[in-house]
Structure 1
Amino acid sequence: MATTHTESISPQTVKRWVDEEKPLILVHTLTHDHFKAIHLPGASPACVFEVTFLDQIAAVTTDKHARLVLYGSSGESMDAAVAAEKLAREGFDNLFILDGGIRGWLAAGYPAEGESVGTPPRPDRMLALQDGTYRVDTSRSVIEWAGHNPHTKHDGTVRIKMGEIGVKDGKPVGTFEIDMNAIENKSLAGDELQPVLIAHLKSDDFFFTRLFPTATFTIKSGTPINEAYVSAPNIDVQGDLTLRGVKAGLSFPATAYQGPDGTITAKARFDLDRTRWRIIYGSTRFFEHLGMHLVFDIIHVEVKIVAQKIA
């Protein structure tokens, strides 16, 4: 079995090899959009994040002894290292990883090609919300809920009626109005009991929408979590939820991301103890001998907010 040769290599050595026209293949392991924006001269794209990565390599070379110089974004990103692992498992045995990736190449003063050489794409690893005012896109935002009893789970959605987020110094605050009359159920879709359940949820046993047609959530503070990576929970949300006429504090972690067009998308999952808002139907904290009417106190909630900048 052949021994795979994998080692780090400096930008200076790669530049010398290129100038001396030594046989090598430069492989850009990031996305194809990133390749179009900026890449090393003469490099070929093969995105390590795609399931077709090995097919993309095969389109460049099928010689498993070829000298491949793999590079990614920077010395902090594992893109090239993961690409090397994948190629080594496939029998490629002459692999080099460019120290510092394309960032290290540029820092050494060497040229690059692409549509955005002067302004390379941001790494977007850490959350950095732009200050401004954002309006919630209610057509793309949703609240999903799930409730349980000992034998059954019911789930559905409730609509966000309107909302606005203000960001100052990278920290969001805001208010959301929730249309409780728009509560829907998915688990009984097509069943004759579905409208019965929805009517029960709207009744005074639960959300009492005749008197309290809307709920309101106000973000009092949104604090970035230490090392606020974009792919992990990165905002600690503290606020007040007014539901069925009762206001109580609510806090949870959320994962926020701001896209290139400025749109903020935030998602959160948390458990809500409904009894804090005097929704006590079926709770053994308040009733005995419930029988088939027992309902667990916790409602599982998943929220998706999409907000577009207006100022």
Structure 2
Amino acid sequence: MRHWQSFKIISPEELQTMLQQQPALLLIDTLPAEHFNAIHLPGAVNACVYDMTFVNQINTLCRDSGAAIVLYGSSSNSLDSRTAAEKLIADGYSNISVLEGGIDHWRQSGLPLEGDTETAASLTDQYLLEDGSYKVSVPESRIFWIGRNPNSSHYGTVLFSGGNFTLHGSSIQGSLLVDMESIENINLKGDELEQVLITHLKSDDFFYVDVYPGARFDIPSGRLNNQAFPTVPNCELSGMLDLRGRQNHLNIEATVVQGGDGKLHLSSHFELDRTLWGIIYGSGKYYEHLGMHTVFDHISIELLVIAEKS
């Protein structure tokens, strides 16, 4: 049940007056602890709304369901404090107010803050990617695959043999090299059918590894969107995939972030139509009366690429 109309919206000036007139007012910063420690409103205490224990934390801070509580979050673009208010009202609290515009509005109103504004500015949700050349870390990177038929599915991994990326502004170029000899199955691990499946995948029915031991994805024109939300892809990779001796254009969306160690982390999830690369075993587009040999055309692919600056 939603409780959008069950709490008051107050301005920074109204909150300032309330703090002066009501010494017992409980002011709650609903953001994560690292943000609170960097910067917060004077007199505020922290209870992060993203924590599963948020309501329990408030219960510990205040057992009086009628006590005056004011919640604030980040800005008018975030639902943090409103979500917190809904949770508390659902738990029985009745005197809840929310600071309009959060800490951003308070700051814009010229009202005092405690903490380090420079440190707080570094806690951005925007993608911050450093220009330069990066080399794929083979031990840390891999491809996860899932193949399916009408009755079951199999999944496993394939390893990279190398690769590189170059970032410059909003562009990303590079290549990924795949070791097709490294195909492994996970779901049949230890079963006698495990090796049967691997042998079949490496045969000319599928990836013909004896003749085509590697695959390559060349990316001459990738685009980065550094303003993307942190939970959606911020990168489009456009290039040519050379697989089983055939080349076809491939466009995929990916998420690229940079860790504190400077390494680039690229991840992507997509469906690959294997038949475009001549892998047609079990495909109803090419064969009839397949029965138990039917294999769906699409393979689910998850890329996890870690690259170090070179």
> TM-score over 0.5 for the alignment?
yes
Could you tell me whether the CA contact under 8 Å between 1:131 and 1:170 is conserved in 2?
A: no
Quote the residue 2:159 is aligned against: 159
Give the drift of 1:287: 3.7
Give the drift of 1:195: 0.9
- The separation in 2 between residues aligned to 1:61 and 1:268, in whole angstroms, is 44
Give the drift of 1:185: 0.5
- The separation in 1 between residues aligned to 2:104 and 2:263, in whole angstroms, is 27
* SS of the residue 2:34 aligns to: helix
- The separation in 2 between residues aligned to 1:291 and 1:278, in whole angstroms, is 21
Per-residue Cα deviation, 1:186-222 (whole angstroms, up to 9, x for no partner): 1211210101111121122221222222111122322
Quote the residue 2:114 is aligned against: 113
Supply the AA of the counterpart residue of 1:88.
I
* SS of the residue 1:205 aligns to: coil
Could you tell me whether the CA contact under 8 Å between 1:129 and 1:170 is conserved in 2?
A: no
- The separation in 1 between residues aligned to 2:6 and 2:150, in whole angstroms, is 58
Give the drift of 1:134: 2.6
Quote the residue 1:100 is aligned against: 101
Quote the residue 2:194 is aligned against: 194
* SS of the residue 2:118 aligns to: coil
| Residue pairs, 1:16-165, within 5 angstroms | 16-20=17-21, 22-114=23-115, 116-122=116-122, 124-165=124-165
Supply the AA of the counterpart residue of 2:29.
H
Give the drift of 1:123: 6.1
Quote the residue 1:11 is aligned against: 12
Is the deviation greater in 245-254 or in 45-54? 245-254
- In structure 2, stretches of 5+ residues that fail to align are none
- The separation in 2 between residues aligned to 1:173 and 1:42, in whole angstroms, is 49
Quote the residue 1:294 is aligned against: 294
| Residue pairs, 1:272-287, within 5 angstroms | 272-287=272-287
- The separation in 2 between residues aligned to 1:226 and 1:40, in whole angstroms, is 29
Could you tell me whether the CA contact under 8 Å between 1:230 and 1:256 is conserved in 2?
A: no
Q: Does 1:271 align with 2:271?
A: yes
Q: Does 1:221 align with 2:221?
A: yes
Supply the AA of the counterpart residue of 1:80.
S
Give the drift of 1:118: 3.0
Is the deviation greater in 280-289 or in 174-183? 280-289
**Cα gap change, 1:13/1:234 in structure 2, threshold over 3 Å: closer, same or farther?**
same
Give the drift of 1:245: 2.0
* SS of the residue 1:50 aligns to: coil
TM-score (normalizing by structure 1)? 0.89
Quote the residue 1:208 is aligned against: 208
State how many pairs are aligned. 306
Give the drift of 1:6: 1.7
Give the drift of 1:180: 0.8
